[in-house]
Structure 1
């Protein structure tokens, strides 16, 4: 299949990318200067600049103030488990994976009562402005931020109950299924939609990415008899992690 001739800046970026992947330009090596690219490839300054922008957007190189552009260390993608199996102790998949491996995982969270905006109200089947408990998480592996999560639960269900705060009380940290069961709400279904987008500046600041880096977003919603009881956005750096699903077969 022929797509026509590539623009000059893409041809230059493709050749430099191959040199990076093949190890001819190893990590921490300075990328050829704009003048060098112009001379070596016989292109204009504009083409050379656009080629470097492509490599930066792909996360292969990074600019260092007053020094130039350098090849980035390429991380080996690691695994984040998403499981349909529930361990006997009620732990969430992240907590279970941390317990089963040598990884040193920690997390921090904060909860606050807020009004549901239109998007969250639609996902929870409630009215915009209804009160929800919003909980923001940062999950870390060996001190490095690896995943963000923000969840919303309708206070019409959990308000003034022992499970109103997801990480506090007698069932704090036990996961949605177990917490809801404690207030006689039986979760029987969960959906997860996985997408990708450029990371927001505040997300990349926490996750250690640079502008333009792509993140995976898992939009998760728990249901009880068809009623949404919790929804969450889970944000994962796409260059460092792979989402692995382990689902039961009935």
Structure 2
């Protein structure tokens, strides 16, 4: 192979990908068999198999037990809005955005006390092993799971207060800013880092993905006078959603 030349399996995968994208191989069409790929492209069984693996890893095709490999329906990506803080009258940003989009969204949550692992402790500026309130959320859009979120709040801040449980009590379901204000903690800054990685098995099971699918992860942290008071991981399937930011200019 000369410099710049693609390996044979990538060349074959690229040609099949082009046919999928331009509609020559429409959704639900059976992908050419391994033998057909071998004959059409003049490659070995190994190359044909590796090309099919590439397309499966990219989420373009899926295997059906006892039937073969088929082109997947390509979802039209929808938006997940991320905006600067707005006075909400007691609702979280997700609730605001869903209300604006027609109130199709639903969610469920579960909170429990836990010990901060080293990564969470670093983000919250506490020691590993310190107690935190961990809350896991599942968000749905028109019944379909669209987003997972896990948040951590240091119990040194919220413990034994009316807002210790994010979704219960007098301010249950309110946003972090409103809840913290109720205990005289003034949130004045929020930071988000956006990245992508292969989804964990349990994430993909919840999100309806297949092994190898990529997820977008938003790491969000709220600060009060430079001190982290809440941090969260928001996980969204990359093939079905786009993160859209609308930030004010000051």
Alpha carbons 1:124, 1:228 under 8 Å: kept: yes
Tell me what 1:209 maps to: 209
Aligned-pair RMSD on alpha carbons? 1.1
In the alignment, is residue 225 of structure 1 matched against residue 212 of structure 2?
no
How many residues in Structure 1 have an aligned counterpart in Structure 2?
A: 249
Q: Distance in 2 between matches of 1:184 and 1:248?
A: 26
Cα distance per residue 1:189-245 (max 9 Å; x no partner): 000000000000000000000000000000000000000000000000000000011
5+ residue gaps, structure 2, are: none
Q: Distance in 2 between matches of 1:82 and 1:91?
A: 15
C-alpha displacement of 1:104: 1.0
TM-score (normalizing by structure 1)? 0.98
Query: SS in structure 1 opposite 2:235?
Result: strand
Tell me what 1:101 maps to: 101
Tell me what 1:69 maps to: 69
Tell me what 1:164 maps to: 164
Query: SS in structure 2 opposite 1:150?
Result: strand
Alpha carbons 2:88, 2:96 under 8 Å: kept: no
Alignment of 1:15-94 (within 5 A): 15-94=15-94
Alpha carbons 2:219, 2:234 under 8 Å: kept: yes
5+ residue gaps, structure 1, are: none
C-alpha displacement of 1:103: 4.9
Structure 1 runs of 4+ off > 3 angstroms? none
- CA distance 1:229–1:85, shift in 2 (3 Å): closer
Alpha carbons 2:118, 2:128 under 8 Å: kept: yes
Q: Distance in 1 between matches of 2:111 and 2:20?
A: 43
C-alpha displacement of 1:21: 0.4
Cα distance per residue 1:117-138 (max 9 Å; x no partner): 1111111011111100000000
- CA distance 1:138–1:57, shift in 2 (3 Å): same
Query: SS in structure 1 opposite 2:86?
Result: coil
Query: SS in structure 2 opposite 1:172?
Result: coil
